[in-house]
Amino acid sequence: MNKPLKHPTALSRRQVMIGAAGLSFAFALPGRAGASALAAARSGKALSPWVSIASDGTIMIMSAATEMGQGSMTSLPLVLAEELDADWSKVKIVTAPAVEAIYGNPGFQGMMYTAGSNAVTSYYGPLRIFGAQVRRVLLDNAAKTLGVPVDELTTEPSLVVHSKSGRRLSYGEIAATAEVPAKAPEIKPDQLKKAKDFRLITKDVMRVELPGKVNGTARYSIDLHVPNMLYGTVLRAPVEGSVPDKIDEAKAKAIAGVVRIVRLPYGVGTLAETPWAAFEARRALTQSVTWTRTGTAWGFDSDKGIERFAADAKNPARMSTEWSRIGDPRAQMPKAASTLEAEYRCDYAYHAQMEPLNAIASVSPAGDAVEIWAGTQSQTTATEAPAKILGISKDKVKLHDMLMGGGFGRRGNRDVDFIIDAVLMSKEAGRPVKVMWTREDDFANGRFRPISAHALKAGFDPSGKLSTWQHRIAVDRVGAYMDPVRYQAAGGKDFIAMLGADLKGYDVPHQLVEQLYRDTGVRTNPLRGISFIANRFATESFVDEIARKRGIDPVAYHLDLLKGTPRAIKVVERVVQMAEWGKKREGRALGFAYLDYSGSQVAGIAEISLNRTNGEIKVHNFWCTIDCGVAVQPDNVVAQQESSIVYGLGVALTEVITIKNGAVEQSNFYDYHVPRMKDVPAMHIEVIQTDNHPTGAGQMATPLVAPAIAGAVAELTGVRLRHTPFTPDRVKKALG
Amino acid sequence: MATSFTVNGKAATTDAPPATPLLWVIREGLKLTGTKFGCGTGLCGACMVHIDGKRAYSCQTQVSEIAGKSVTTIEGLSPDSSHPLQKAWLAEHVPQCGYCQSGQIMSAADLLKQKPKPTRDEIVEHMNTNICRCGTYQRIVRAVERAARES
Ligand code: FES
Ligand code: FES
């Protein structure tokens, strides 16, 4: 567990320490506090380094990203261990404390935040350099001890070797007496290991937390028991922005084991000695609380809302803001020799991480400190928000970041609703409290992938070439709601709603993407695949539609548009081979989609059949290729694509959240259908290793699924599906 | 009014009210937290245990039904992760977030007990009770097949 940090701000740029356990190092990532590389100092204090080496050879490496099943807890330390040439069996991984100056993610302005499939991408470079620096210090010390020039020394895992004399020193032996230089050794890029010398990267080591996940010992926050702990539940308003009005506590309080009913700023809490009493009390409260009619979502119905969005997206008189532009689309579109228009829609979707949200908090009796156990995608927000609500400084918040039973974007919102529950309840109780949401709470208080309506228009030159592209999106805001701080920092740009709306990599000279900002008042969050799911459904479907309208094979059409993007062509050509695109199949058809997702090149092909009587689509096979540069853990990249495809399948076919009068209508897995084993196609994934800088792998295939299926349905029936999910009713209606 | 039963071969008692789901007694009373809460409604399988040798949703089993019965949880499946399914699960790198996996393994163990060499269709049919939101289904099938082969 994390060591409490008394004065994290006292950590200066001078962050190489001799710790109690031996040689310890820390470094600051570039771009902050002027600390561009390893700076050195001596200190007897054990502070919080990235790595320390004990004299018995144990190497402790800090894990800065949180673990929700994506594997970062292994892959980040692995990168450091590679350059350090550490014996992986001697490595112990420890979750890093919430100290942004050291552990912050360079991809998120130094926030500690695990999202956007960005952990390996952002930390890869710094962790390699740092591993190499530590190795270099060990080599220098060994040279001194052995009395030989340092360039006669090499390393093997956790050993320095002098091959001339056959002498060897273990890292543990060296660490015991090592001197740390005043200034960190400089490592030039060409001094880093060559890919051919990798012992860990690309070699598929066992993820460190897996053994505990097959015998029940892996610990999620919901599993913990803190001495003297109470159980809590929270009943929230059905509509965002409403607060409790009248509370009739009598029934809930009468339940044996119930300690107190608590009025919270946004809901009503129950505190009880046992979990069953807390849940019973919550049930009893549902009929006994009335709510103020505050908040914007009252009166909002999502089925009418999406109609309005669609009408607005189509109507050029409706105000929009420019999201991105290439060339001169406004001037060019009217000059087009011919045009084509289409509309697409997407519904709200729910994360459904398997672990219902929960947290444990223990507020000190004086209310001046708090200890928190939670699974979070951001150690920063998980410490800042509680500090703010308690009116204490962030260093008084001690966070134990636990394994997450799934994240998918649900656990990164700035206000960390599920942690604040526990903090406020513990403050009220004067005891530690574990607050657990029921699955019904998790639905009702869900923060959804937003609804969106897409109006697309393509302009062609006289030769028929696609020359101008316009994509207008009316979409419920996400960034402004889920993280106002980052939203402001991004200049008021809603990346979480808009990314993926352009045609990255495609040869289309004039492009315009416009946003129609909408705020229905419904709670929203990024969801796995983020806005790429909706926006690529629209754009890839439209490209497919254009190709078919012009009588061109959709893959051939894609390849032509992608001709300036060789990495894209490679993933497309390979997936086409794997699926035997072009081969006729009895009663089945194929559909294709491609995506550049934050640099990762992904292509997918779905093979489907369709029951015309009941409207059910069956996906039989899904082929997928991915080039994410150096795949640090290739089998895990495969696993993540399998996982992303299954996730995409649900959002494409069955998963829909509807809002009635501002409230969520679904409540559990009987009225919200996530994929089960029977629904899942055979998945064929190929990782194309390249020596490009690693890019994301955790959600890349999700956005491919809906457009690939829609393309396959068009191939099979000639009918275009325009509204995800493609529920049987919608499919039947589309078929006429 | 205490209810007595056995869990993983050891005697256990609880004084939880009769309508309390066994799940909460296991997790919070006995602190065997390998068994998970996912939906509380018999729809996800995260809470799967064995009762008298057969799989059961612990969230759908009340304390009043377990007197004198023998409950096995993931912690009792093997003392050292040596059950063929546990080994196969690691060999196939099945878990992602891992939250559903105790339930998956308990379901699969029940299948292999009934049918040591299940067909792929039988595996899918049986395992359809268990949701994995991380979508590890393809690897679960492979792991069950491997365990059947190697045990
Ligand atoms: S928790 Fe029992 S089936 Fe979901
Ligand atoms: S591994 Fe995450 S839900 Fe199955």
- Which residues does ligand 2 sit against, CB inside 6 Å? A 69, 354, 406; B 95-101, 132-134, 136
For tokens 């949180």, the residue is A66
Give residue-wise pLDDT tens across range A677-712.
999 999 999 999 999 999 999 999 999 999 999 999
Place of tokens 């020596």: A691
Residues A680 and A598 in one domain: yes
- B101 and B47 part of one domain: no
In this prediction, residues B127-136 reach a mean pLDDT of: 98
Write phi, then psi, for A326 (nearest 5 degrees): -130, 140
The C-alpha angle A715, A720, A723, rounded to 5 degrees, equals: 135
From CA A348, how far away is CA A656, in angstroms rounded? 6
The dihedral through the CA atoms of B39, B45, B50, B53 has a sign that is positive
Query: Using a 6 Å CB cutoff, which residues line ligand 1?
Result: B 37-40, 42-47, 57, 59
* Atom of ligand 1 minimally distant from the CA of B40: 1
Residues A290 and A306 in one domain: no
Among the candidates A404, A436, A468, a domain finishes at A436
The per-residue pLDDT for range A185-222, each reduced to its tens digit, is 889 999 999 999 999 999 999 999 999 999 999 999 99
Q: Please indicate, yes or no, whether residues A629 and A512 belong to a single structural domain of this protein.
A: yes
Point out the domain boundary residue: B77, B104, B129: B77
Q: Please name the residue that has the structure tokens 């194309």.
A: A688
Q: CB-based contacts of A116: which residues, under 8 Å, 6+ apart?
A: A107, A108, A530, A598, A696
pLDDT tier, A49 (very low <50, low <70, confident <90, very high otherwise): low
Residue A514 belongs to a domain = yes
What DSSP assignment string belongs to B39-76? -SSSSS-TTEEEETTEEEEGGG-BGGG-TT-EEE-HHH
Nearest to A643 among B77, B128, B134 (CB): B134
Q: Of the residues B48, B77, B106, which one is the last residue of a structural domain?
A: B77
pLDDT at A42: 21
Do B29 and B90 belong to one domain? no
B127 CA: distance to closest CA in chain A (Å): 7
CB atoms < 10 A from the CB of B79, how many? Answer: 10
Residues B71 and B89 in one domain: no
Left if phi > 0, otherwise alpha if psi is -120 to 50, otherwise beta: which for B147? alpha
Q: What is the C-alpha end-to-end distance of chain B, expressed in Å?
A: 43
Phi, psi of A280 (to 5 degrees): -60, -45
| Same domain, residue pair B73 and B92 | no
| pLDDT for the residue numbered A316 | 95
**Closest ligand to the CA of B46:** 1
The answer on pLDDT for A52 being more than 90 is: no
State the pLDDT at residue A614.
97
Look up tokens 């129609």; give the residue. A516
Nearest-CB residue to B24 (from A68, A275, A636)? A275
The mean per-residue pLDDT over the stretch A300-315 comes to 98
- Residues B98, B141, single domain; the answer is yes
Position A23 pLDDT exceeds 80: no
Q: Residue A313: which H helix or E strand, with range? A: helix A302-314
A604, A555 Cβ separation under 8 angstroms:
no
Q: Look up the CATH number of the domain holding residue B143.
A: 1.10.150.120
Whether A14 has a pLDDT exceeding 60, the answer reads: no
DSSP per residue, B89-126 = HHHTT--SS-TTHHHHHHHHHHHHHH-SS--HHHHHHH
Q: Do A513 and A367 belong to one domain? A: no
What pLDDT sits at residue A330? 97
**Cα-Cα end-to-end distance for chain A:** 60
Cβ–Cβ below 8 Å for B86 and A219: no
**For A590-636, how does the pLDDT look when each residue is reduced to its tens digit (9 = 90+)?**
999 999 999 999 999 999 999 999 999 999 999 999 999 999 999 99
Helix (H) or strand (E) holding A371: strand A370-374
Q: How much is the average pLDDT of B31-59?
A: 98
A133 against B133, higher pLDDT: B133
Count how many domains chain B has.
Answer: 2
Which chain A residues are within 8 Å of B105, Cβ to Cβ?
214
- Let me know whether B72 and B95 are in one domain: no
Rounded to an integer, the average pLDDT of A115-142 is 90
Same domain, A128 and A232: no
Distance CA A325, CA A470 (A): 9
Residue among A214, A354, A644 to mutate when testing ligand 2 (max atoms within 8 A of CB):
A354
Average pLDDT across chain A, whole number? 91
- Which of A206, A213, A217, A404 would you mutate first to test chain B, the one with the most B CBs within 10 A? A213
* Secondary structure element (H or E) that encloses residue A59, with its range: strand A59-63
**Domain C-terminal end among A152, A183, A208:** A208
Residue B64 has pLDDT above 80, yes or no: yes
* CATH number for position B13: 3.10.20.30
One domain, residues B121 and B61? no
Which residues of chain B lie closer than 8 angstroms to A639, CB-CB?
93, 96, 136, 139
Question: What pLDDT was estimated at residue A487?
Answer: 95
Do both A274 and A330 map to the same domain?
A: no
What is the structure's pLDDT at A12? 29
Residue at A215 is within a domain:
no
- Tell me, in angstroms, the distance from the centre of ligand 2 to residue A676's CA: 12
**Does A457 lie in the same domain as A432?**
no
Is residue A76 one of the residues assigned to a domain? Answer: yes
Tokens of A544: 């497919």
Please count the structural domains in chain A: 3
Domain boundary among A148, A181, A208: A208
Is residue A76 very low, low, confident or very high in pLDDT (cuts 50, 70, 90)? very high
- Asked if residue A572 and residue A676 are part of one domain, the reply reads yes
pLDDT confidence of residue A348: 98
**pLDDT for A507-543, tens place per residue?**
999 999 999 999 999 999 999 999 999 999 999 999 9
Spatial CB neighbours of A188, under 8 Å, sequence gap ≥ 6? none
Phi-psi region of A627 (alpha: psi -120 to 50; beta: other; left: phi over 0): beta
Specify the CATH number for the domain of residue A59. 3.30.365.10
Q: Which amino acid is at A372?
A: I
For residues B73 and B108, membership in a common domain is answered with: no
Nearest CA to ligand 2 atom 4: B132
- Which single residue is written with the structure tokens 């991984």? A93
What's the distance, CA A217 to chain centroid? 25
| Nearest chain B residue (CA) to A684 | B138
**Any chain A CB within 8 A of the CB of B130?**
yes
Q: Which structural domain, as residue segments, surrounds residue A45?
A: 16-208
Is A262 in the same domain as A368? yes
Residues in A touching B141 (Cβ below 8 Å)? 677
Residue nearest to atom 3 of ligand 1 (CA): B42
- Within its chain, how far is the Cα of A143 from the centroid? 44
Distance CA A463, CA A280 (A): 70
A644 and A665 share one domain: yes
**Among candidates A214, A353, A438 on the partner chain, residue whose Cβ is nearest the Cβ of B95:** A214
Residue B88 structural domain: 84-150
**Domain final position from B62, B77, B92:** B77
A505 and A379 inside one domain:
no
| B15 shares contact with chain A (CB less than 8 Å) | no
Q: Are residues B9 and B54 in the same domain?
A: yes
A-facing residues of B in 76-105 (CB < 8 A) are 77-78, 81, 86, 89-90, 93-102, 105
Check whether the bond before A725 is cis (ω within 30° of 0). yes
The pLDDT tens digits of the residues spanning A285-303 come to: 999 999 999 999 999 999 9
pLDDT band at A97 (very low <50, low <70, confident <90, very high): confident
Is residue A109 domain-shared with residue A234, that is, in the same domain? no
pLDDT, mean of residues A92-109: 85
One domain, residues B110 and B44: no
Cα-based angle A62, A66, A68 (whole degrees, multiple of 5):
135
